[in-house]
Amino acid sequence: MMKAERLIKRTLPAMAGAAAAALLLAGCGGASVNQTAAAAGATGTPCGTVNVAMNAWVGYTADAAVYSYVAKNKLGCSIVQKDLNEQVSWQGLASGEVDLIIENWGHADLTKQYITDQKVAVDAGPTGNEGHIGWYVPPWMAEKYPDITDGQNLNKYASLFTTSESGGKGQVLDGDPAFVTNDEALVKNLNLDYKVVFAGSEAALIQSFRTAQQNKTPLLGYFYEPQWFLSEVPLKKVNLPAWTEGCDANPEKVACDYPTYKLNKIISKKLDDSGSPAAKLAKGFTWTNEDQNSVATDIQGGMTPEAAAKKWVDAHQSVVDKWLS
């Protein structure tokens, strides 16, 4: 009994403390510095909070940075950026964790699931960027082996691309497993003597291509544009059998190149219905591949995304005004 009593005696002050703190919170709810400052900050139509999914490539970061900068500074929105993988972000549209995916690459299956069937998300129109995915080699290889850019000849050069990770076959270097990719299926269905190895991220992919060009070492890898890196090292695309409508319908049987993606924005139904100016901005947001590359290059060069966004917005005031009107 003594021990139990002592236990109570010791935990009691802790409990009382927590309770007192809670009471204190409830009591002073109105006077918080948080709320007063907020009231002063908001002007015009209330915007509220926008949750922006952040997918892991610099081009996406550029789009999101500019959107966030404009929403924050011109509309007074609170922006919450969440680092999420592409497909996980879509799940967030359903759960309310995500309001905006600013650069979506295709995903017909998810579009059907979340926009058509569950009706939790809305297509907010194209970003104006055109996306290409494909297999690329560093420029020195395209010079030395001119016929390498024809996918038919890949098996001839497979031995060049072997590494300790590829098990005696040629290596196709992919990025993040979360990126849109058919490469495993392509290797199999085109009977290529290659193995897909994942670098793990866009950054690792870029570093590999940069070293390959510098040291003139062979490398075949997954890459895409718009991409700021292509202006530093103009990678050469390898042509696989051309894309035709429906050739990539079954992910296990794909034997054709990637389509051209009209990149678009997805917003949650919740944000769309709220009538917030943030939804209007999301729908209005369009720019060109050059615009995205210039912001991405600045971010890559060490600027914070916010500073890079500010620089672009200051230089393109008229474009931004068009989004907002």
Partner 1 sequence: MSVLLQVRKTAQPAPATVSEPRRRPSRRAILLLSAAAIWILGFLVLNGTATLALPASELTDLHRSLNQFNAWVAANRADNPLFLYVFTPLRSAVDAVASLFTTTFAATATGLRLPEIGWLGTVGLLTWIALAVGNVRVALLTAAVFVFFGIQGLFVEATYTFALVLTAVLLTLLVGIPLGILAGIYGRVARVITPVLDFMQTLPTFVYLAPLALVFLIGPASAVIATVIYAAPPVIRLTAHGIRRIPDNTREASDSLGTTGLQRLLTLQLPMARRTIVMGINQGTMAALSMVTIAALIAAPGLGQTVVRALQSLDVGTAVNAGLSIVLLAIVLDRVTTAASRRAEPGSARRRRLSRRTRTVLLGISFAVVLVMVQLSRTVLWAAAFPADLNLGPQIVQAVNSASHWLQSNLSLFTVSLREGVTGAVLNPFQSLLTDTPFYVLVTVIAIVAYALGGWKLATLATACLGVIIYLGLWSDSMVTLAGTLVATAVVMVLGIVFGVAMGRSSRVDQFLRPLLDAGQTMPSFVYLVPFLGLFGATRFTAIVAGIIYAAPVAIKITADGISGISPTVVESAVASGSTPWQVITKVQLPMARQSLALAANQGLIYVLAMVVVGALVGAGGLGYDVVAGFVQSSIFGKGLAAGLAIVFLGIMMDRMTQAAAAAPARRIPSKSTT
- Map the footprint of partner 1 across residues 222-251, applying CB under 8 A: 251
| Helices marked H in the chain | 2-27, 33-41, 58-75, 86-95, 108-110, 139-144, 183-189, 202-215, 229-232, 269-274, 277-284, 289-300, 305-315, 317-324
Q: Which two tokens stand for residue 285?
A: 């947001």
Q: Could you give the string, one character per residue 256-295, with x where binding to partner 1 holds by CB under 8 A and - elsewhere? A: ----------------------------------------
Residue 20 near partner 1 by CB under 8 A: yes
Q: Which of 74, 88, 259, 283 binds partner 1 (CB under 8 A)?
A: 88
Q: Choose the stretch contacting partner 1; rule: CB under 8 A; options: 87-95, 238-246, 267-275, 308-316.
A: 87-95
Which residue from 52, 77, 84, 235 is in contact with partner 1, where contact means CB under 8 A? 84
CA 215 to chain centre: 30
34 binding partner 1? (CB under 8 A): yes
DSSP for 272-302, please give it.
HHHT-HHHHHHHH----HHHHHHHHHHHHTT
Phi, psi of 222 (to 5 degrees): -75, 135
Task: Write a three-state SS string for 198-231.
Answer: ECCCHHHHHHHHHHHHHHCCCCEEEEEECCCHHH
Q: How many residues bind partner 1 (CB under 8 A)?
A: 71
Closest CA to 292 of 102, 98, 54: 102
Contact of 54 with 84, CB cutoff 8 Å: yes
For the bound state, the minimum distance from the C-beta of residue 83 to partner 1, rounded and expressed in Å, comes to 5
Interface mask toward partner 1 for 179-218; x: CB under 8 A: ---x-xx-xx-------xxxxxxxxx--x-----------
Which one of 64-72, 91-99, 136-144, 279-287 is the stretch in contact with partner 1 (CB under 8 A)?
91-99
Residue of 19, 45, 73, 109 interacting with partner 1 (CB under 8 A): 109
Query: Is residue 43 a contact residue for partner 1 (CB under 8 A)?
Result: no
Of 99 and 148, which CB lies nearer to partner 1 in the complex structure? 99
How far is it, in rounded angstroms, from Cα 82 to Cα 140? 39
Q: 78 or 149, CB closer to partner 1? A: 78
Task: Name residues contacting partner 1, limited to 54-83 (CB under 8 A).
Answer: 54, 56, 58, 78, 82-83
